[in-house]
Amino acid sequence: MLKYEGVDTDFSLNGKTAVITGGAAGIGYATAKFFHEKGVNIVLADLNPKVDEIAKQLGDNCIGVAGNVCDGEYPSRVIEAAVKAFGRIDILVNSAGIVALESAEVISAEYWRRTIDINLSASFFMAQAVGKYMIDNGVSGSIVNMASQAGVIALDKHVAYCASKGGIIAMTKVLAMEWGKYGIRVNAVSPTVVLTELGHKAWDGSVGDAFKKEMPSERFAEPEEIAACIAFLCSKGAGMITGHNLLVDGGYTIK
pLDDT, tens only, 207-225: 888 989 999 999 999 999 9
The Cα–Cα gap between 158 and 151 comes to: 10
Burial of residue 9 (number of CB atoms within 10 Å: 0-12, 13-18, 19+): exposed
Chain segment 165-187, per-residue pLDDT in tens: 999 999 999 999 999 999 999 99
Of 249, 146, 136, 118, nearest to 192 by C-alpha is: 249
Do 85 and 59 touch, CB atoms closer than 8 A?
no
Question: Which pLDDT score, from 0 to 100, does residue 5 have?
Answer: 82
Chain segment 12-50, per-residue pLDDT in tens: 899 999 999 999 999 999 999 999 999 999 999 999 999
For the chain, domain boundaries: 17-196+224-247
Global pTM value: 0.95
Please state which CATH number belongs to domain 17-196+224-247. Answer: 3.40.50.720
* Active-site residue, 74 included: no
Other beta carbons within 10 Å of 5: 10
Do 245 and 169 touch, CB atoms closer than 8 A?
yes
Is 8's pLDDT higher than 80?
no
Catalytic residue among 29, 133, 161, 252: 161
The Cα–Cα gap between 154 and 220 comes to: 18
Question: Which pLDDT score, from 0 to 100, does residue 149 have?
Answer: 96
CA 225 to chain centre: 13
